[in-house]
Amino acid sequence: MSTSTELPTGDQVVQDLPWRWRVQGKIFLIGGLGFMFDAWDVTLNGYLIPLLSDEWGLTPGQAAWVGTSNLIGMAVGAFAWGSIADLIGRKKAFTATLLIFSIFTVLGAFSGDLVWFCVFRFLAGFGLGGCIPVDYALVGEFTPRKHRGRVLTAMDGWWPIGAGLCGVVSAILIATFGDWRYLMLVMVLPALLVFWVRRSVPESPLYLVQRGRTAEAKAVIDQLVKSTGGAIREWRLPPAGDDPKLTLGGLTGQFTALWRFNWRITLAAWGLFLSILLVYYGALTWMPQILIASGYRQSVAFLTTAGMTGIGFLGVVAAALLVERVGRKWILAVSGPLSAVVLVVFALTVELPVVATVWLLAFGFTIQVAIPVLYTYVSELYPTELRGSGFGWASTVSRVGAGLVPLIFGSLLWPYLGLPLTFAVTGLLVLVAVVWMAFNAPETRGARI
- Which amino acid is it at 296? Y
pLDDT for residue 23: 85
What count of other Cβ atoms lies within 10 Å of the Cβ of residue 446? Answer: 12
Residue 449 lies in a domain: no
Residue 447 lies in a domain: no
Residue 190 lies in a domain: yes
286 in Cβ contact with 111 (< 8 Å):
no
pLDDT for residue 248: 52
Residue 446 lies in a domain: no
Percent of the chain residues topping a pLDDT of 70: 91
Mean confidence (pLDDT) of the chain: 83
CATH of the domain at 286: 1.20.1250.20
Residue 202 lies in a domain: yes
Burial group, residue 13, by CB count within 10 angstroms (0-12, 13-18, 19+): buried
Distance CA 274, CA 299 (A): 31
Distance CA 281, CA 41 (A): 12
pLDDT for residue 117: 96
Distance of CA 291 to the CA centre of its chain: 25
How many domains is the chain built from?
Answer: 1
Q: In this predicted model, what pLDDT tens digit does every residue of 267-316 receive, in sequence order?
A: 999 999 989 988 888 888 889 989 998 899 988 999 999 999 999 999 98
pLDDT for residue 1: 43
pLDDT for residue 338: 97
* Residue-number span of the structural domain to which 159 is assigned: 4-440
Burial group, residue 256, by CB count within 10 angstroms (0-12, 13-18, 19+): exposed
Residues 269, 274, 275: CA angle, nearest 5 degrees: 105
Contacting residues for 366 by C-beta, under 8 A, at least 6 apart: 315, 335, 338, 339, 342
What are the DSSP E strand ranges found in 58-140?
none
Residue 226 lies in a domain: yes
Residue 163 lies in a domain: yes
Residue 183 lies in a domain: yes
Q: In this predicted model, what pLDDT tens digit does every residue of 231-244 receive, in sequence order?
A: 777 777 665 555 55
pLDDT for residue 399: 72
In which residue ranges of the chain is pLDDT below 70?
Answer: 1-5, 10-11, 82-83, 90, 94, 206, 209, 237-254, 410-411, 446-449
Q: Helix, strand or coil for residue 352?
A: coil
Distance CA 55, CA 445 (A): 50
pTM of the model: 0.78
- Which amino acid is it at 397? V
